[in-house]
């Protein structure tokens, strides 16, 4: 297009049409969508990072022991009663062995005392038996002699005084015989009592000896067994190391006893109530699961180290209120997919509270 003027001809180009800013619009819509995704749900729910937890069953020795050998993997399954580790303690074994030898010596002394006491009681019983037999013989001799003496007395050849003396001798002999018989029976009873008492003591010594020997053998090398079935967690894989009594070698996680611990911002806990429903997304499951608020811990706590991703999540900057989420209706198939410490995300709706 050309324009004419007194100066000459000027070339004028037409103004081009501007294209619609689709890219800018899409960016704005995307930013608004992300903002809505982050902000709008938080207006009607509270969310928190969480972990799969459970009431762990510890496997621990009852005495100071050395781990000689681990029989299971530190991250595998275990069955109830399965042998899991071999432990030993030679110091305790030596102590019990010393107790065994001391008890053995005392048992031998008790055996000697038993033999002496029983021998003495038997000797006394034999003496009493002999006295009783002598009394029986004397009583029979006096009775035989009294028979002819009694006939002479009836014929009038023996005075009554002499007859009465003989009669008194027989009565005395009978009384002596009865006394000796009673003494002999008591001595026999004493033999039985001493024998039973000493044998009880010897048996007690022997029982203690057997226990000491059994413990000495057991602590010399003992096999620990799993008290329940489940998954091994928190394993101390340190062969040849010594652990104190009560220190778990590892713990057993049972999926049937699993629950979720969610770490909420303290300001959000006021919106949560016991028994409320919760949506839980657990790592390893391709779908959300239903839970409910079981309890709210009274203390503030830091995020576990494996959940602390950003600097502001460290304990010196922020602390959280742990909330226990129960998984009452979790199917058995899903429970078998759980593992201890799995990451999770918990969402609790607050719309009912607002309404």
Q: Which has more pLDDT, 333 or 237?
A: 333
Predicted structure pTM score: 0.54
φ and ψ of 243, to 5 deg = -120, 150
Residue 131 banded pLDDT, cuts 50, 70, 90: confident
Q: Which of 235, 129, 137 lies closest to 190 in space, CA to CA?
A: 129
- Nearest-Å Rg of the Cα atoms of the chain is 49
Please identify, in words, the CATH class of the domain defined by 59-90+225-250.
Answer: mainly beta
Is a pLDDT exceeding 90 seen at residue 281? yes
CATH 1.10.287 fits 91-220, yes or no: yes
CA angle 20, 26, 32 (to 5 degrees): 130
Q: What pLDDT digit, counting tens, does each position of 152-164 carry?
A: 777 777 787 777 7
Task: Find the mean pLDDT for residues 293-316.
Answer: 81
pLDDT in the model for residue 138: 81
Distances in Å between the Cα of 57 and the Cα atoms of 146, 253, 262 are 92, 7, 22
pLDDT in the model for residue 218: 60
Least confident of 2-16, 112-126, 147-161, 263-277: 2-16
SS3 236: coil
pLDDT in the model for residue 346: 93
Q: What is the dihedral of CA 56, 59, 63, 67, to 10 degrees?
A: -130
Residue 142 banded pLDDT, cuts 50, 70, 90: confident
Mean pLDDT taken over the chain: 78
Domain ranges of the chain: 59-90+225-250, 91-220
pLDDT in the model for residue 355: 41
322-333 CB burial, b ≥16 within 10 A, e <16: bbbbbbeebeee
Ramachandran class of 161: left when φ > 0, alpha when ψ lies in -120 to 50, beta otherwise = alpha
**Cα separation, 48 vs 318, whole angstroms:** 14
Q: Which of 117, 96, 136, 336 lies closest to 230 in space, CA to CA?
A: 336
Beta strand ranges found along 234-306 (DSSP E): 242-243, 250-253, 258-264, 277-282, 289-296
Q: Which of 3, 4, 17, 45 lies closest to 265 in space, CA to CA?
A: 45
SS3 289: strand
**Cα separation, 112 vs 135, whole angstroms:** 35
**Cα separation, 71 vs 85, whole angstroms:** 5
Is a pLDDT exceeding 60 seen at residue 253? yes
For the residues of 300-338, what is the DSSP string, one character each? Answer: -BPPPGGG--SGGGSTTT--BEEEEEE-TT--HHHHHT-
Residue 16 banded pLDDT, cuts 50, 70, 90: low
Is a pLDDT exceeding 80 seen at residue 275? yes
Q: What pLDDT digit, counting tens, does each position of 172-227 carry?
A: 888 888 888 888 888 888 888 777 777 777 676 667 666 666 665 665 677 888 99
pLDDT in the model for residue 14: 59
**Cα separation, 30 vs 139, whole angstroms:** 131
pLDDT in the model for residue 105: 63
Distances in Å between the Cα of 73 and the Cα atoms of 28, 112, 230 are 53, 54, 13
Q: What pLDDT digit, counting tens, does each position of 22-40 carry?
A: 777 788 778 777 765 555 5
Is a pLDDT exceeding 60 seen at residue 42? no
Contacts of 240 (CB under 8 A, 6+ apart): 66, 67, 68
Q: What pLDDT digit, counting tens, does each position of 79-95 carry?
A: 999 998 888 766 565 55
Instruction: Please check whether residue 138 is in contact with residue 176, taking contact to mean a CB–CB distance below 8 angstroms.
Output: yes
Is a pLDDT exceeding 80 seen at residue 241? no
Task: Find the mean pLDDT for residues 289-307.
Answer: 88
pLDDT in the model for residue 2: 47
Beta strand ranges found along the chain (DSSP E): 2-5, 8-11, 45-54, 57-59, 65-70, 77-78, 83-88, 222-225, 230-233, 242-243, 250-253, 258-264, 277-282, 289-296, 321-326, 343-349
């Amino acid at each position: 297009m050309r324009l004419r003027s007194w100066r000459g001809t000027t070339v004028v180009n037409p103004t081009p049409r501007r294209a619609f800013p689709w890219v800018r619009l899409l960016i704005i819509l995307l930013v608004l969508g992300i903002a809505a995704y982050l902000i709008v749900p938080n207006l009607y729910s509270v969310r928190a990072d969480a972990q799969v937890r459970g009431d762990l069953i510890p496997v621990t020795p009852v005495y100071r022991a050395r781990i000689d050998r681990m029989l299971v993997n530190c991250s595998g399954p275990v069955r109830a009663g399965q042998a899991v580790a071999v432990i030993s303690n030679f110091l305790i074994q030596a102590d019990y062995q010393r107790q065994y030898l001391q008890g053995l010596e005392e048992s031998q002394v008790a055996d000697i005392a038993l033999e002496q006491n029983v021998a003495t009681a038997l000797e006394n019983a034999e003496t009493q038996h002999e006295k009783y037999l002598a009394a029986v013989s004397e009583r029979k001799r006096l009775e035989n002699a009294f028979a002819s003496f009694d006939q002479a007395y009836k014929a009038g050849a023996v005075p009554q005084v002499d007859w009465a003396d003989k009669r008194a001798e027989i009565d005395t002999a009978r009384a002596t015989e009865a006394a000796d018989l009673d003494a002999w029976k008591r001595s026999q009873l004493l033999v039985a009592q001493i024998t039973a008492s000493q044998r009880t003591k010897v048996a007690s010594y022997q029982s203690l000896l057997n226990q000491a020997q059994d413990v000495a053998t057991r602590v010399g090398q003992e096999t620990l067994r799993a008290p329940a079935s489940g998954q091994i967690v928190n394993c101390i894989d340190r062969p040849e190391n010594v652990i104190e009594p009560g220190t778990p070698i590892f713990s057993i996680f049972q999926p049937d006893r699993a629950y979720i611990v969610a770490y909420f911002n303290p300001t959000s806990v006021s919106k949560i109530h016991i028994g409320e429903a919760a949506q839980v997304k657990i790592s390893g499951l391709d779908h959300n699961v239903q839970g409910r608020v079981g309890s709210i811990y009274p203390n503030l706590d830091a995020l576990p180290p494996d959940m602390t991703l950003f600097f502001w999540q460290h304990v010196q900057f922020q602390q959280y209120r742990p909330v226990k989420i129960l998984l009452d209706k979790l199917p058995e198939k899903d429970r078998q997919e759980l593992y201890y410490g799995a990451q999770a995300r918990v969402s609790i709706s607050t719309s009912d509270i607002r309404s």
